[in-house]
A and B are shown apart, each in its own frame.
Chain A
Amino acid sequence: MHTGIQSPQGVWWKPVRGGEKLWVGIAFAWCLVLFAMMPLWHLRGGQNPSGIRSKVDPQAFMARTQEFIRTYQVGTENGIPVVEPPPGSDIYLMGMMWSWQPVLRLRKGAQYTLHLSSFDVNHGFSLLPFNINFQVVPGYDYGLRITPTEAGDFRIVCNEFCGIGHHLMIGRVIVVDESEPAAAGASSGAAIGGGNL
């Protein structure tokens, strides 16, 4: 018997005894269970971060977002355009120091492809009070298939440090019921974008 600060003499590669062997076995089995859960949940879970990934030049993403805003704008709030895209369309949300553009008006139960990216630095997309979080990286378009399941008034808080105005960066998503009429002025142009899939 020796301590961890003494040099073991002779051969120390010795068979493992009962209790320790059992523990290593249990621990390894547990690790395999955890490991199996990773792909299983990926296949069976309803909520995955995979998305549609593509590179995008920040300028190009800005242009797409502006085009998107022009097409579907229904108003303005605190200087930020409010858009109401038709169900099924590609929708764009751009983080920039220090705001989320635009405010989105979505329809409960409808499917959208949400494109997230940044015009400048890293930002953090955090949908509250749901608490759903994604990293927003400049140069990358994160396309997420989403279906709002609850009507209400939601916030997008930036949770990646993005400079001195980081804590001021908060956006808004409104989800309206299926029955509610479209906001005045909502145009019904065809979905744009999507060419980046």
Chain B
Amino acid sequence: MSADFRTCPTTGLKVHAQADRLIKANAVVGVVALLIGGIAALLLLLTRWQVVHLLPADWFYRLLTVHGMNMLIFFILFFEMAILYFASAVLLNSRVAAPRLAWFSFWLMVAGALVVEWTMFTGRADVLFTSYVPLRATPWFYLGVILFAVGALLVVAIFFATLIVAKKERTYTGSIPLVTFGAATAAIIAVITLGHGAAIYIPTFLWSLGIGNVDAQIYRLVWWGLGHSSQQINVAAMVAVWYLLGALTVGSVVINEKISRIAFTLYVLFISMAAAHHLLVDPGLPPTWKVWNTSYAMYLAVLASMIHGFTVPAGIELGQRLRGYTKGLFEWLRRAPWGDPGFSALIFSIIIFGFVGGITGVTFGTEQINIIAHNTLRVPGHFHATVVAGTTLAFMGLTYYVIPLIFRKKVAFWPLARIQPYLFAAGMLIFSVAMTFAGTFGVPRRHYDISFAQAPFDFQFSPAVDLVMTAMAIGGLLAITGGAIYIAITVWSVFFGKPLEAEVKA
């Protein structure tokens, strides 16, 4: 039994060999998805930038589907599965409950993802990742999504089982760490999310086979129960990673466990209402429903983010002060490890998520502003600030610790790693803000040709749009460079990196 564990020389944690392997496998597949989605991003960017207008129309929409699925679903979720294993087994010194089932779920997710990739790349599912009925994809597409989701649900079950095992086997004393608690809220939200997923994808799968019917409005309602709740998984996971990175980079402390945990709990309680802000200008729903649900019943999920936005930086400050950086008001900030990509990624993730993503999101969650934002580029402008500059950047920062701590390899190309978060954050900031501005002129999202060259009527956007679309291209290219560096570093370190010294076997 004990031979299955190693002791981490940095943290002193006992790491189960199966946890090690599961984390590695999920992280590697996640990065592969990021690579596919990233290549698609480059091609999409160069198409929306009308000066280049690279792709033909069919491939634009096809790769838009590919980008959405690979980034938002496959990359993010595989990475989150790795985080669940880390937050349960590793942080609690425990074994993974049911490792065989864990591997089965992993391969189920891979199989589901491969089926989906195949349907997308062969043009059998040009429906974008939202797949609004009655747009129809091949049944295999929905089936692939269902397989992937079942796999993810099993991993969530294993996560909870591991928490129970750790408690029973007394692998830790006291309460579970805050990061594990945060991961647990993400896991609970995942159950809610996947419930909505089953409720919509199973009928849609049957409908694609010709059995039964799916109402277009009900589809949008239930689908966004999945689509938005899954964003709250990302938020909860990202905030857990903020606390984790704070701890790893500067030993930041938890100011008050109660407040941070209540804030995480608010995410769980108010999440299923989130579908509403996607449906503010939909015909099928009454205004009272829209007002109550979009505000998450009094903005309590927003409150949660505002609390974390305070406690995480405050914890960093206190951590730094405890390490001796006590001069004046800001020595703790000036003398922070800005050359540590884990730290810089953490800070940019907090800032861009909060100020750009949060503010844009809350504003167009109102009826009147939604009328001028719905389905314009403001929407992707918003979520590239949340799920990309926020979640993805935090995950990138974490990777610089996963490589030495889990893969036991030295991070390759260190000088590049030091600047990678700066490039990615700056690029994403420009990209998101430019998209947001383009959207205020009414530039549509998911649109192949805003010069309307072949359309029956012409339309000319304000000349300012050319300018912001160019800014969007420059920001996007910068971010893609940052993303490419990240992938190069990760792949090289993992497969060809210098191993760290052999460690103590427990």
Contact = CB atoms under 8 A, between A and B. Distances in A.
Contacts, number: 265
A121 interface: yes
Contacts of B284: 53, 137, 140
A161 to B, nearest CB: 5
A11 to B, nearest CB: 9
Contacts of A10: 174
Interface in A1-59: 1-10, 12-14, 16-17, 19-20, 23-24, 27-28, 30-32, 34-35, 37-39, 41-42, 45, 47-51, 53
Given A19-B314, A126-B444, A138 B455 contact: no
Contacts of B128: 161
Nearest to A132: B371
A116 B281 CA distance: 12
B399 to A, nearest CB: 17
Contacts of B459: 128, 155, 157, 170
A121 B135 CA distance: 6
Given A13-B258, A49-B367, A116-B283, A5 B244 contact: yes
A158 B459 CA distance: 12
Contacts of A78: 456-457
A53 to B, nearest CB: 5
Contacts of A129: 441-442, 461-462
Given A14-B256, A134-B374, A161-B446, A53 B454 contact: no
B457 A170 contact: yes
B470 interface: no
B175 A7 contact: yes
A41 B368 contact: yes
Interface residues of B, number: 97
A128 to B, nearest CB: 5
B300 interface: yes
Interface in B270-315: 279-287, 290-291, 294-295, 298-300, 302-303, 306-307, 310-311, 314-315
Interface in A122-146: 122, 124, 126, 128-142
Interface in A57-93: 78-80
A126 B370 contact: no
B368 A133 contact: no
B42 interface: no
A112 B502 CA distance: 77
B456 A80 contact: yes
A9 B303 CA distance: 27
Contact of A4 (B243, B294, B457): B243
Contacts of A9: 173-174
Interface stretch (B193-201, B213-221, B226-234): B213-221
B209 interface: no
Interface in B366-402: 366-368, 370-376
B140 interface: no
A177 interface: no
B178 interface: yes
B175 A126 contact: no
A19 B36 CA distance: 45
A33 B92 CA distance: 41
Interface in B323-375: 362, 366-368, 370-375
Given A121-B135, A131-B442, A137-B283, A41 B256 contact: no
20 contacts: A5-B11, A7-B177, A10-B174, A12-B257, A17-B255, A31-B298, A35-B295, A41-B367, A50-B287, A53-B284, A124-B375, A126-B375, A132-B371, A133-B371, A134-B283, A137-B216, A140-B217, A158-B444, A159-B444, A167-B455
Interface of B: 11, 57-58, 61, 64, 91-92, 126, 128, 132, 134-135, 172-179, 182, 215-217, 220, 240, 243-244, 246-248, 251-260, 279-287, 290-291, 294-295, 298-300, 302-303, 306-307, 310-311, 314-315, 318-319, 322, 362, 366-368, 370-376, 440-442, 444-450, 452, 454-457, 459, 461-462
Q: Top 7 A-B pairs ranked by shortest CB distance?
A: A4-B243, A131-B442, A142-B283, A159-B444, A3-B247, A31-B299, A12-B257
